[in-house]
Structure 1
Amino acid sequence: MASSFLRRNVITRNLKKPFYQNKRNSGYVVLIPEIGEDGDKNTLLSDNGLPEFNDITIEKCIATISKQSLEYENGVRQIEQSGPNCKNAFVEIFQPLEKLDNQLELTWGMAKTLYLGNSSLMPTKSYIQIHERAHKARSSKFNSVPIFQAAVNEKNRLKKLTDEEGRLLDKYILEGKLNGLDVKGLKRERLNNVLNDIQKQRGMIRDKVNIATKIFSSIINNEQVAKEFPESLAKSMSVNNDANKGPWKITLQPHIYEPFMQYCPDRDLRWNAWQAHVQRCSGYGNKDLETSTNIEKLRSLRLEQATILGYDTFVDMSMETKMAGSMENVLNVLDSLLECARPMQDIELDSLHKFAQERGFDKNLQLWDIPYWQRKQKWSLYNFDENKIREYFPLPKVVNSLFNLCSTLFKIQIFERSDTNTWHKDVKFYDIYDETSNRPIAGFYLDPYARQDEKIRVYDDAGWHVSIRNKSSISSTQPLSALIFNFQAPDSGHQSLLSFKEVNVLFKRFGHSLRHLLTKANYSEVAGLSNVEWDAAEVCGQVMTHWLYDPHTIQAISGHYRTDEPLPDDIIKNIQNIRRHMSGYDLCKELYFSRLDLEFHSKKTFWREIVQELWPKYNALPFDKYDSHPLSFTKIFSEEWGAAYYCHWWSKMIAADIYSAFDEARAGDQDITYIGKRYKDTFLAAGGSCHPSEVFRRFRGRDPSPHALLNNLGLTKKIVEE
């Protein structure tokens, strides 16, 4: 499905299913309630053109999105009339489509923001209803044969196109191709059936994994076992919601299972949870929940979908929307990373085993032992106390320092504006100015604090970026976005204090938002985060996090909440060391899952045979014959990451290479603001209006290399030392 590959990145990619399903149902749907008295105007905007967040209701949102969706679909049908006799597709088709997007996009973005920022005002069920209606309307232009043909004709007619014009046409052409618009007759009918069957299998896999995850539980009555648990984990596990009082219940929910495996000292309890986790949906227990049959059907259907659309494999189809461009390119990088990471894994596990033995552990390390002893070794080596570090990162200090860093690097100024309506009193609005204008070029909301029962929160992810409105020169709109976090609120007169992990999340989300806010593209369809290849989508966020490992920057952004003293040098050094702790083991694990995904979607071999072949190449520890982890691998089978799991580390690799340009400038006593300007003029300005491979070459003067990533993880240095 085209939108599965080329959807605009309006929420950072952590948003889970079913929000990005692209259901090609025929006909048009009008949601209830129908358009009422306010349907003739946009009731969601203030006089200053910004959203009227403090006066919004679900009814207004649904009525407005219903009206705008109908208008959008009618507008697409009218624009289609220009297709056959079109003289200039940009003037007659794509610019009118650009104007059509404006209002629908804004209302949709407001609904997303409320859903993540105040779910009591926008419950999940209501948001899904709004999202699916808006998504269906917007998809109509990519399912239009006349618009698709006009893009093809314009591409053939014009010999000289700007990067942006070429990318715009390519997007419509590729969307149309992936939607099967050039597939005719019985093949088209079969494609529709295949796509429907794919959705059914994905849904069945998702539902079975959810049920299997919820079924398992185990009770701990021994207080000694719970003694090492952090308070938050003990409270989450406590049957009585009391951290100090048992019994405590183990479940496979990620916010319980992952920290439990790190903090549980009882090896038998760890094994019991681990084997339940990796055997989910295997059929060893509940036969009704096995997913092996569904996964094999899904793999076969995806191959058939790709074949109908003219590709050899599903991976080949997926690579149409990836910076890497081909499976061969991905595998080459995978292999080069593995060459350094795999030998290091052996060394790290040997060191970890000796560490455990010295503390009375007399068994061979197994997979269910690693998280526990890895945490213990990290604490022993670096004495890393997250709560102590919090004292050096009061939120106001960190935010101001982040803004100052961006001001220095990118020559922008960020000012708070007070005359805006927000969804909560804690939310602030900021205008962004650049050095060439006395008027704002973009704006964003910042909602920093957790609010119980109001905000969506996913374990291990404390923040969201929402693109509320894209830049468009055609419709004269400026970028608008929201940054929504779940940081602890100020308490009893004390400032909000951030953990280092939370500082990292803040920098990553803000760096991600800069690509949206500072874009120079003219068409919203390729501006900012829109149309950016999946494996390059996280690059700008990852680049910003690298500044947290620069000693000068970390000292500048830190300041003890009582004394304003910067973070001590020994803690800064330990932060750098922790990033490298067991980095070979961790990287091998990600490389394994990436390769597994690619093999599943490029071969017909039964899944278990693929696992048995790949496991020893990436993992030093033996494979358990009952381990069936692919059967609950929802990211690639029921979410959107099939043949795309590698994208996260690819973005990390590109970001590390980009940031190394700043390191090189510092080493050569050059002005890093020159590098900052070049980065702003390439990655931040181009957005999706130029292929990221070309953008990288314009910034770096060459193609990307994995060396900087390996260097940051300490792998190249470690291998040489050994």
Structure 2
Amino acid sequence: MALSFLRTKLVARHVKSHLYQNKRNAGYVVLIPEIGEDADKSMLLSENGLPEFNDLTIEKCIAAISKQSLEYETGVKQIESSAPNCKNAFVEIFRPLELLDSPLELTWGMAKTLYLGNSCLMPTKSYIKIHERAHRARASKFNSRPIFQAAVAEKNRLKKLTDEEQRLLDKYVLEGKLNGLDVDGINREKLNNIVAEMQKERNFFRDKVSTATKIFSSTIENSEIVKDFPESLLKSMSVHNHPNKGPWKITLQPFIYEPFMQYCPVRGLRWNAWQAHTQRCSGYGNKDLESSTHLEKIRGLRQEQAKILGYDTFADMSMETKMAGSIENIYSHLDSLLEHARPMQDVELQSLQDFANERGFDDRLEFWDVPYWQRKQKWSLYNYDEDKIREYFPLPRVMNSLFNLCSTLFKIEIVERQDVHTWHKDVKFYNIFDESTNQPIAGFYLDPYARQDEKIRIYDDAGWHVSMRNKSTVSSTNPLSALIFNFQAPEGEKQSLLSFQEVGVLFQRFGHALRHLLTRANYSEVAGLSNVEWDTAEVCGHVMTHWLYDPNTIKAISGHYKTEEQLPEDMIVNLQKVRGHMAGYDLCKELYLSRLDLELHSTKTFWRDLVREMWPRYHSLPFDKYDSHPLSFTKIMSEEWAAAYYSHLWSRMIAADIYSAFEEARKRDGDVLSVGQRYRETFLAAGGGCHPAEVFRRFRGRDPSPQALLNNLRLSNKMIEE
């Protein structure tokens, strides 16, 4: 798949966003042999058919992926040779492709899992090469003109298809179209040159932002400044690995910058970090790291690409793989959210200003002040102390309660299996059973604890879900996943304790995994998370997190690690209020970035002029003339979210609307279980085998509305009046 926004395996986005930052820093290159002496793929599997992680090595992974990639590409060529005379694409093309997919997919998934679970055993340099080789092989079927033409011919035949068959055909046809398989002559050559040039510019942009992020640092010697910093932050900032002695280094790495801005009491230090963060690659400092030229080149190349492929703008082209369907539909929903969030932002900032003034702050709040005072106000209003709350969420209890909730809602049973080889002693394996079967329908690994220097750390992404193997009726394979987190490890007899934010991460990742694990699709290409539109890819994860604001659920999952006492009632109420704290301010930031991304990819206006024009509509605080945040917006410029950044917010909106069906059932007749079954039969079962707009209608009986999200954030008119 040549076009980035078509990559449908969500985990690849998380993995790639980190690993590609290190690509040019590799000290050596791992050469992948086309055939290795350990190339027998069965060497990677145990007798029970699961991965043999105990004996897995880089060399075995490389040898297996090399052999399987060659076999895959050879198999695609054989299918191509018979495609022109194809009478039934499902039998003659898609079934053979399914059989090709399975072994390559599993080996690739094992390498991803090992990379995220223990990067010492699978270093970034090695995984990049494995990833690129497997991706190149798998992309061959979507860059095949004979297969594309056979899919088009099959689609034009007048015969009744199931939803899944229609989606499978649509996927191959759309992938081929967006890869330019129906473009000929000079335009074909031009398109190839544009794609190559665009990748080069994206690499330049990414590398400059990465370098600019690493260049900045500032040191704190005074222990009084850091006295309220969380221990995890002190460890990250410690220069000599003595968190309580110092000195401590401030950097722009997200896992340091974000919490530092919340906890640092010295305004000058916050301003220094903020201006360095927002001016990255602006050219105000180091001219060699200026990225404005690359940003504008990328925009122009994407526009040319879209024109050649028959679209007015790149944003219009992006809509082909989105539930929203059109930019106008997105703007309509986002503007509806802004209508409620923008006036509330003014109220919230005035409240925060008053709060800060009462505590000795005698200046006007600026952007570098908000995170610090926002945290202080949250603590003051709701007694929100993560360390205190953490004591009520020991991981074993939370996991057990999460499994019980899913068992009740979806009529499944989650059972630990002992005879499984893993990559670390902390890792457990679970089978999932349906109530109507004696054989497992899916399985997953759980690797819960942080291990210093072994696991990747990203501040706002504390866990990963790896789709190791998809469900496929053709190849008789069941779904297999890995869930990898960085939670606090047990110390002695003290259990692992989760912050409420970490409980949310656990629920979100597990809800996301359920879409992969409980799919009922027959073809792996549209099973589970595959072929799910980008703006609904995160929906099922967000749906699960809503259960944390149900008082009965929060009581079930909480229990003090010493006394087993449930979370007190006042804390439960305050957790619900915390979700709406400064929600208008935070939502406006997301709405602004979502709109900025779409405008950058649908207009020709210079980026700085666009920012100045849009700013007042979304922000109460004035624009700083040196603020150059688009120049480090890697998610849309060098990663996979071009004209798709709004997807994060759209998924939240859809998820809130879905969960409101559970709330309505609870208030109306209490029949929540029937809603759970309907949710499983639609969103969890269908996967990418049915368009998400249709899946939503089948579940909700109507089109989506932003009202539920507004209610959850306490931003609806009724909530504001109260």
Q: TM-score, normalised by structure 2?
A: 0.97
**Which AA in structure 1 matches 2:645?**
Y
Instruction: Write out aligned runs for 1:567-716 (5 A).
Output: 567-716=567-716
**33-42 vs 312-321, greater mean Cα deviation:** 33-42
**Which AA in structure 2 matches 1:696?**
F
Distance in structure 1 (CA, Å) of the matches to 2:576 and 2:30: 54
Distance in structure 1 (CA, Å) of the matches to 2:656 and 2:377: 27
- TM-superposition CA deviations, 1:64-93 (whole Å, max 9, x none): 111100000000000011211111111000
Partner residue in 2 for 1:210: 210
Partner residue in 1 for 2:565: 565
**226-235 vs 60-69, greater mean Cα deviation:** 226-235
Partner residue in 2 for 1:281: 281
Partner residue in 2 for 1:65: 65
- TM-superposition CA deviations, 1:344-367 (whole Å, max 9, x none): 000000100110111111111111
Alignment CA distance shift 1:372-1:537 (3 Å): same
Distance in structure 1 (CA, Å) of the matches to 2:202 and 2:152: 33
Q: Could you tell me how far 1:37 is from its partner in structure 2?
A: 3.5
Partner residue in 2 for 1:508: 508
Is residue 268 from structure 1 mapped to residue 268 from structure 2 by the alignment? yes
Aligned to 2:663, the other structure's residue is in SS state helix
Q: How many residues align?
A: 716
Contact 1:344 1:718 (C-alpha < 8 Å) held by counterparts: no
Alignment CA distance shift 1:462-1:597 (3 Å): same
Distance in structure 2 (CA, Å) of the matches to 1:401 and 1:136: 42
Q: Could you tell me how far 1:219 is from its partner in structure 2?
A: 2.5
Task: Give unpaired runs (5+ residues) of structure 1.
Answer: 22-28
Is residue 421 from structure 1 mapped to residue 421 from structure 2 by the alignment? yes
Aligned to 2:11, the other structure's residue is in SS state coil
Distance in structure 2 (CA, Å) of the matches to 1:157 and 1:509: 41
Q: Could you tell me how far 1:134 is from its partner in structure 2?
A: 0.5
Aligned to 1:82, the other structure's residue is in SS state helix
Partner residue in 1 for 2:185: 185
Partner residue in 2 for 1:359: 359
Partner residue in 2 for 1:309: 309
Alignment CA distance shift 1:116-1:697 (3 Å): same
**Which AA in structure 1 matches 2:554?**
I
Partner residue in 2 for 1:229: 229
Partner residue in 2 for 1:488: 488
Distance in structure 1 (CA, Å) of the matches to 2:305 and 2:37: 45
Distance in structure 1 (CA, Å) of the matches to 2:375 and 2:247: 24
Contact 1:216 1:251 (C-alpha < 8 Å) held by counterparts: yes
Partner residue in 1 for 2:347: 347
Aligned to 1:226, the other structure's residue is in SS state coil
Distance in structure 2 (CA, Å) of the matches to 1:555 and 1:104: 44
Partner residue in 2 for 1:26: none
Is residue 39 from structure 1 mapped to residue 55 from structure 2 by the alignment? no
- TM-superposition CA deviations, 1:479-530 (whole Å, max 9, x none): 1111111111111112111111111111111100100000000000000000
- TM-superposition CA deviations, 1:205-229 (whole Å, max 9, x none): 1111111112222233333322332
**567-576 vs 226-235, greater mean Cα deviation:** 226-235
Partner residue in 2 for 1:24: none
Q: Could you tell me how far 1:252 is from its partner in structure 2?
A: 1.4
Instruction: Write out aligned runs for 1:422-441 (5 A).
Output: 422-441=422-441
Instruction: Write out aligned runs for 1:401-550 (5 A).
Output: 401-550=401-550
Is residue 387 from structure 1 mapped to residue 387 from structure 2 by the alignment? yes
Q: Could you tell me how far 1:719 is from its partner in structure 2?
A: 5.7
Contact 2:519 2:684 (C-alpha < 8 Å) held by counterparts: yes
- TM-superposition CA deviations, 1:438-482 (whole Å, max 9, x none): 111111111111112222222222211001100000111111111
**Which AA in structure 1 matches 2:553?**
T
**Which AA in structure 2 matches 1:5?**
F
Partner residue in 2 for 1:256: 256
Partner residue in 2 for 1:397: 397
Distance in structure 2 (CA, Å) of the matches to 1:385 and 1:411: 36
Instruction: Write out aligned runs for 1:83-232 (5 A).
Output: 83-232=83-232
Contact 1:12 1:464 (C-alpha < 8 Å) held by counterparts: no
**Which AA in structure 2 matches 1:670?**
G
Distance in structure 2 (CA, Å) of the matches to 1:365 and 1:167: 51
Contact 1:389 1:500 (C-alpha < 8 Å) held by counterparts: yes
Contact 2:470 2:527 (C-alpha < 8 Å) held by counterparts: yes
Task: Give unpaired runs (5+ residues) of structure 2.
Answer: 22-28
Distance in structure 2 (CA, Å) of the matches to 1:17 and 1:232: 23
Distance in structure 1 (CA, Å) of the matches to 2:344 and 2:462: 31
Aligned to 1:364, the other structure's residue is in SS state coil
**Which AA in structure 1 matches 2:572?**
I
Contact 1:19 1:132 (C-alpha < 8 Å) held by counterparts: no
Contact 2:516 2:528 (C-alpha < 8 Å) held by counterparts: yes
**Which AA in structure 2 matches 1:555?**
K
Q: Could you tell me how far 1:670 is from its partner in structure 2?
A: 2.9
Alignment CA distance shift 1:316-1:212 (3 Å): same
**Which AA in structure 1 matches 2:537?**
A
**237-246 vs 255-264, greater mean Cα deviation:** 237-246
Q: TM-score, normalised by structure 1?
A: 0.97
Percent identical among aligned pairs is 77
Contact 2:515 2:685 (C-alpha < 8 Å) held by counterparts: yes
Contact 1:635 1:641 (C-alpha < 8 Å) held by counterparts: yes
RMSD across aligned C-alpha pairs, in angstroms? 1.7
Contact 1:4 1:20 (C-alpha < 8 Å) held by counterparts: no
Partner residue in 1 for 2:243: 243
Aligned to 2:44, the other structure's residue is in SS state coil
**Which AA in structure 1 matches 2:546?**
H
Q: Could you tell me how far 1:19 is from its partner in structure 2?
A: 6.0
**249-258 vs 353-362, greater mean Cα deviation:** 249-258
**Which AA in structure 1 matches 2:334?**
L
Aligned to 1:210, the other structure's residue is in SS state helix
Partner residue in 1 for 2:26: none
Distance in structure 1 (CA, Å) of the matches to 2:498 and 2:670: 33
- TM-superposition CA deviations, 1:639-695 (whole Å, max 9, x none): 111101100010000000000000000001231000000000000000000000000
Distance in structure 1 (CA, Å) of the matches to 2:261 and 2:480: 41
Aligned to 2:670, the other structure's residue is in SS state coil
Aligned to 2:225, the other structure's residue is in SS state helix
Distance in structure 2 (CA, Å) of the matches to 1:366 and 1:93: 60
Distance in structure 2 (CA, Å) of the matches to 1:238 and 1:428: 32
Distance in structure 2 (CA, Å) of the matches to 1:10 and 1:77: 28
**311-320 vs 560-569, greater mean Cα deviation:** 560-569
Q: Could you tell me how far 1:602 is from its partner in structure 2?
A: 0.3
Aligned to 1:597, the other structure's residue is in SS state helix
